[in-house]
A and B are shown apart, each in its own frame.
Chain A
Amino acid sequence: MNVAQQIINGLVLGSGYACIALGWTILLGVARLVNFAHGQLYMLGAFVTWFAIAKIGLPYPVAILAAMIVLALLGALMQTAMMRLVMTQNLTSLMIVTLGLGYVLQGGSALLFGGNPQTLPGTLARAKVDLGPLWFTWQDVLVLAVTLALYGVVWLFTQKTRYGSVIRAVAEDPKLAELFGVNARVVYLLVFVFECSAVALGAALVAPRSPILTSMGFNEVIMTFVVVVLGGIGSIGGALLAGLGLGLFTAFFGAFVAPAYTTAAAFALLLALLVIRPAGLATK
């Protein structure tokens, strides 16, 4: 039964990784943009959700929506500020700018929300399910279900609709796409807004599992790196598989080798893979 429980633990961890990584996958893969403030956006999403529940008194589902809206607005603001760099495809500067904005978000949230740890009340993180000797929470079920549904919807949207090819055209060459009558600025703005609200959703779902602090975000962003690169930059199915796979890897590496070294092991795996296949797992 130990193995069965570890599989559950792995799926719980992995669905969390995949859920948080979705926004980045789209941003990086479809629009070829990077956002090193991702971890701090996750933190902010969690704190906005907490604020909405604990301070304003909104029910959990409404609080999730509130967090998504707040972060979408923030994302629109960030992207508008960075638009010139995006249009000139100055990726080096973009990376550093988002790193700096992450610092600003962290400092600002610490001033705004204080340094105390908080827990999110009213979520399903304490609603436990027992299946014989196995256990998980309804929150875990919710995370897994929403993650699978989201990846499905996003996959359909980018692969099966006209909009998906428009976004890819913009990523390929924004200037050329504009010649064909596509407003590249709007496309970039929408993609970035999607990234921010997706991470807010991820935070609202995953963060209730443990106490939240304004100093968090680092672990989440490095796990997102691993998921996105392992899955093959921008491959939606790849990211989902990589997220779940990484969760199972963490659980079994932890159960049979040494849980304290899982981050290092995941990164070593990533380094090794990049040497063999620089474009990630999903490439043929």
Chain B
Amino acid sequence: MNRTIALAVGLLASLATPVMAQDIKVGTIFPLSGGAGPDGQTVTNAVKLMVGQINEKGGLLGRKLVVISKDDERTPAVGVSRANEMIAEKADVVIEGWNSPVTLAMQPILARAGIMDMTAVSKSELILGGETNPYAVRINSSNGFDAEVIAKYVVDTLKAKTVAFLTQNDVYGNGFQTAVEAEFKKLNFAGKVVLTEKFAFKDTDFRVQLTNLKAANPDAIIVTNSSNSSGLPAMVEQYRQADLKSTFVGAVGIMLTTVFKVAGDANNGIVSADIFFPDLAPFTSIPESTAFVAAYKKAYGADPDKSAALGAAAVQVWAHAVETTKSLDRKTVAEAIRGKPVKGTVFGDVEFLPNGQMKPRYVVFKVVDGKNAKLEALP
């Protein structure tokens, strides 16, 4: 509650204080209220932190940066209004996107106005399709690469003979499953997919599916579930209660802080992969990463999770491109990112594919102490 008031006051203050003409405006559009509010606030906080650090070092192109942060309420129609406001306030870059429909709705609006658009989290493949925004850039990993990592683990490391899917019935879940099955073919997977169970994003009761899965008793169950604040923790708890013996293999990036907070030790034994960890190698030996973790902890009193890292990296990547090109122009900046390597981000030295997708480095892990979110990296 206090945070919301502080936010409202901050917004009013940012409206009231005249922004100097030479300031560079960094816009953020994330859900700041409702169920996804805490997640959006995490990303926004990370952006603010990074912008603050750049300002401390003298800003960009000799100019100060200011953050304009807006709430998309997880609703595409609201996101569109916010994008229009960004155009009115002449933002130089907009960092956006917690969920795909909102990103997809805002994309054409920002693209038509010629504003540089950095997508931090939203995972839809359509974002990089080039149809609405030929200069799209996305930090979060894509289903294609994610599937490669998971399939490899299941086939090569776990050596599973029988596999089942527990899939979220939308483009994200089904797309991931299709990609994993394609990777199975590439890896000449000798085992069998014995069962596919689907559920809806909003579901919180999975006993029916788990009963079927238990009867099939596969070696591994590959799970997609992006409802990190209610569906997934409920699923993890019911998975343990139903006493399934199969290895719970979570899709890349689903094990966010809220899952550990809510489901605690029920998470023990889950295998998953992700692209950022505050306390696992190799990130503990990347100076930019450890510096970010320390600064975030100091500013907000908690370890930054992957979402925070995505927000921070979006700022770093954009700022790096602005600095090297000495320009704020959308095309120039985007071309300096797309298909190019970027050094010194919180993810380490990374590379962008020609379609704007960041190529992350993955760490496969196992949960050893769910209550304290302690993980163990797997080879």
Contact = CB atoms under 8 A, between A and B. Distances in A.
A263 B200 contact: yes
Interface stretch (A25-33, A148-156, A208-216): A208-216
Interface stretch (B184-192, B204-212, B245-253, B271-279): B204-212
A213 B233 CA distance: 12
A260 B234 contact: no
A132 to B, nearest CB: 12
B341 interface: no
Contacts of A251: 207-208
Given A2-B215, A128-B241, A211-B233, A259 B36 contact: no
B379 interface: no
A221 B243 CA distance: 31
A219 interface: yes
A2 B208 CA distance: 10
A135 B204 contact: no
- Please tell me the size bucket of the interface on A: 35 or more
Interface string B223-250: 0000001100110010001110000000
A6 interface: yes
Contacts of B209: 254, 259
Interface string A247-284: 00011001100111001000000000000000000000
Given A115-B38, A255-B211, A260-B199, A209 B204 contact: yes
Nearest to B40: A115
A9 B208 contact: yes
B1 interface: yes
B212 A255 contact: yes
A137 B243 CA distance: 13
A2 B212 contact: yes
A137 B4 CA distance: 38
Nearest to A113: B1
Interface in B98-114: none
A92 interface: no
Given A209-B205, A259-B198, A111 B230 contact: no
B233 A250 contact: no
Contact of A258 (B1, B33, B198, B261): B198
Nearest to A12: B207
Contacts of B34: 110, 115, 214-215
Per CB-CB distance, the 5 closest pairs between chain A and chain B, nearest first, are A115-B37, A260-B169, A210-B204, A254-B208, A215-B35
15 contacts: A110-B33, A112-B1, A114-B1, A117-B233, A117-B258, A117-B261, A119-B233, A209-B234, A210-B204, A211-B204, A211-B233, A213-B35, A218-B202, A255-B208, A259-B200
